[in-house]
Chains A and B, each alone.
Chain A
């Protein structure tokens, strides 16, 4: 099936790194990035899965990754806007 290869290991490492970041980092910006690292690990895992067919890559996981990236990008953009607004609110309180 999906024998261990460097991409599968990389996917697992990314998920682990991201999870570590999510639970250890207090700053929301870093936490948001950490979640994105987890997401990239999951996407990479899906691409590894797409290689399992003997006759060429399976298009369905590719479509899933594309959809996932679109969702992750929009959610991250929204998250970044929130981080900025939070920072601006904090500045106003300091003044």
Chain B
């Protein structure tokens, strides 16, 4: 049973997608609810087994490596699968409240989201370079149609731009895989890593191609242009899934390559500092842009550009502290960002717009939504006690340990800027309305408990992550491959 769990974690969400394609979400979202349970159950069981027994491997169809395809669930995979399951379940509940089940958008959401879930789990379990390419494409092809559910012309052009760049990124990645296969004759990450030892310019070229492709997919500055439009124009649950999980899938693969087959080329100081430099640029540029955006959802989207930058600071530090810090930051950001997007979506739903200048006075009316936004903001800013604080604290210790004090300054500056863009929104919301200009209350649409509470629960989980560091870092375990 245990060695079947990785397969079930991929297969059951895909099956749920097919069933929901045939049935629709059903009366009262009953089928959809079944789909969520079917998708979440194997993920959670798998995470528990990994926590108890350590790494679980499965050889597909019983074929042994190098011909067969290996699925592997280690601590990092388990943590990402757990993040996907927790964020996924709560966002699904929000979606049950948001989408009218007779709507076409609802039908499409309940097909595409389980498929995306299965594809994400498959990516997190891939221990094979080519299988990772296929699953990355599955993630992209399931995620982009979700952007279109908003149906606006803006969403269409955002989706098209996203698709073209994503396709280009995966072609670069595939070219790198081809070079590695040419050098080693294997696709299994571990075997390829062993045979690539010694390096050479072809390995460097392969690494450059694969990393560039993944940076495009992860929307790291300067490849970030598609992200704010796509994430800003999608419906709230979709934005939450894209920002919390989908971009992180590309970063995950980058970390996986760094800790495995591409350790040597990516550990050269020039490459490591180049990547960290991109991370610094992403943090500063994304945060400054977030401060300047006129619309709430765009603020949250640019914040994602900034927060992803932190994950690239790993490369020059390359120790256990940095590894833990970067991954913990990724998990904490996933939870908090999903909460921010759901809260922003609720605000947009309730007052019909998300222009920050016109939020004046709405803070008291939409107290729960803005409260959620503020609580999730604590983790994004990295204030204690929160998951964001713990991740940044580990990273800070790693930078200071490596003597890179200026990186520590960037981390602190990123936190200050994040405080700036979170408080800018809250300040606008809680300003008293002009008493003489408009005395009347703006019309407010009611939101049900299904939409209100998942956002708040996610925001509170972001805080709780500040206290859950020990069990989660124990689950993550040592760096794979014993690097550093």
| Complex Cα gap A76–B289 (Å) | 32
Bin the interface of chain B by size: 20 to 34
Number of residues from A at the complex interface, CB < 8 A = 34
A68 interface contact, C-beta 8 A = yes
- Residues of B117-171 contacting chain A, CB below 8 A: 130, 133-134, 137, 140-141, 144-145, 148, 153, 156-157, 159-161, 163-164, 167-168, 171
B460 interface contact, C-beta 8 A = no
| Complex Cα gap A8–B157 (Å) | 35
Is there an interface contact between A82 and B160, defined as CB atoms closer than 8 Å?
yes
- The residue of chain A having its C-beta at the shortest distance from the C-beta of B148 within the complex is A82
Contact of A78 among B145, B168, B175 (CB under 8 A): B145
- Residues of B282-329 contacting chain A, CB below 8 A: none
- The residue of chain A having its C-beta at the shortest distance from the C-beta of B160 within the complex is A82
A20 interface contact, C-beta 8 A = no
Q: Which residues of B contact A76 (CB under 8 A)?
A: 167
In the complex where A35-B168, A75-B167 touch, is A28 in contact with B137 (Cβ < 8 A)?
Answer: no
A24 interface contact, C-beta 8 A = no
Contact of A39 among B157, B167, B182 (CB under 8 A): B167
Is there an interface contact between A64 and B130, defined as CB atoms closer than 8 Å?
yes
Contact of A75 among B141, B156, B174 (CB under 8 A): B141
Is there an interface contact between A71 and B156, defined as CB atoms closer than 8 Å?
no
Q: Which residues of A contact B99 (CB under 8 A)?
A: none
Contact of B178 among A28, A46, A71, A74 (CB under 8 A): A46
Is there an interface contact between B171 and A42, defined as CB atoms closer than 8 Å?
yes
Q: Which residues of A contact B177 (CB under 8 A)?
A: 64
Is there an interface contact between A49 and B160, defined as CB atoms closer than 8 Å?
no
Is there an interface contact between B163 and A79, defined as CB atoms closer than 8 Å?
yes
Q: Count chain A CB atoms within 10 A of each CB in B130, B140, B178 and give the residue with the most.
A: B178
Is there an interface contact between A75 and B163, defined as CB atoms closer than 8 Å?
yes
In the complex where A22-B168, A35-B167, A64-B130 touch, is A86 in contact with B175 (Cβ < 8 A)?
Answer: no
Q: Which residues of B contact A64 (CB under 8 A)?
A: 130, 174, 177-178, 181
| Complex Cα gap A54–B63 (Å) | 25
Hey, which bits of chain A sit against chain B, CB under 8 A? 1-2, 15, 22, 28, 31-32, 35, 38-39, 42, 45-46, 49, 52, 60-61, 64, 67-68, 71-72, 74-76, 78-79, 82-83, 85-86, 89-90, 93
